[in-house]
Amino acid sequence: IKEDAPVLQPKLHRGVAKVEDYALPAYFDRRDSPLPDVSYVQNLSAEQKSLKEKEKGSWVALSNEEKIALYRISFKQSFAEMNQGSGEWKSVVGGIFFFIGFTGLVVLWQRKYVYGPVPHTFEEEYKEKELQRMLDMRMGPVQGFSAHWDYENKQWKK
Amino acid sequence: MCGNMFRAVFRLSASGARSLTRSRPCYSAPLASRCYSHGKVETDEEFDSRWVTYFSKPDLDAWELRKGMNTLIGYDLVPEPKILDSALRACRRLNDLASAIRILEAVKDKAGPHKDIYPYLIQELKPTLTELGISTPEELGIDKL
């Protein structure tokens, strides 16, 4: 930009609207984005501040505990922690079985108390007559029903 | 896309006789490799040197380090030791040990089921790690729960 060119000055809106938390860069632990926008710990204690100063020097001088402390300032969970599974699936499968079982009880109750009697066509005597009728009219004579009936000996084919 | 994302390491690339021997677990896919285009395909070496140059910038700032690392981890490859070396040195310039350790964790995670890649990377990076004083996650015990 040339120095004498007219430059639009942005109108600063400080004091007009509050910047909401969710609009600011957030911290997150993600496998596919290892370095989040912000450190996990934003407000450092005095001890952490002095550790940060020490970090500017040689890292060989840092003890393992100090290195871990520095890591924990910047990050919430290590990769091992963020990737760990949980036992939640057991609860889910257990819940599934429980509710299937409960549904079974509901169905049994319904069958007893809600549904009326089955039609008369289910009675034993009716069924016998129905079967005889089917054989008489030769239903499925080739490969189906009547094909399995031995008309000579009046029994089912073996 | 002509090939699938998970190219076997033993494929011979279109750009010439570069053989990847079994002992060198160098898994990397060339960038923008489409068999049906007549555009230039970036070779592995070009890709590596581009990234080494990126992290070698003397006044690299923290945002650029994060952006570079997150982008690199987004690719379907495990970065070469020289790229990681450059990135770790960038962390040193920025006085950020935590990010250096995080980078090591990330590449180990990136290798996925290929368990032999990470030890190779550490072996190649050992001189840099001892020089800069970066402990591996294993040394600090944060690779376990």
pTM given for the model: 0.71
Beta carbons of A129 and A138 less than 8 angstroms apart: no
- CA-based nearest residue in chain B for residue A80: B143
Mutate to test the interface with B, among A48, A67, A75, A83 (most CBs of B within 10 A): A67
Picking from B66, B93, B142, B143 by the largest number of A CB atoms within 10 A of its own CB, the best residue to mutate is B142
CB A71 within 8 A of CB B135: no
Tokens, residue A34 = 């290892």
Q: Are A67 and B97 in contact (CB under 8 A)?
A: yes
Partners of B95 on chain A (C-beta within 8 Å) are 55-56
Residues of B in contact with A61 (CB under 8 A): 133
Q: Give the residue, A11 or A44, on which the prediction is more confident.
A: A44
Are A119 and A113 spatial neighbours (Cβ–Cβ below 8 Å)? no
pLDDT band, residue B15 (cuts 50/70/90): very low
Quote the mean pLDDT of chain A: 92
Lowest mean pLDDT among A27-31, B1-5, B47-51, B107-111: B1-5
User: Virtual CA dihedral for B63, B68, B71, B74, nearest 10 degrees?
Assistant: -120
Task: Express each pLDDT in A63-121 by its tens digit.
Answer: 999 999 999 999 999 999 999 999 999 999 999 999 999 999 999 999 999 999 999 99
Helices (H), chain B: 44-56, 62-74, 81-93, 97-111, 117-132, 137-140
Q: Do A32 and B143 touch (CB under 8 A)?
A: no
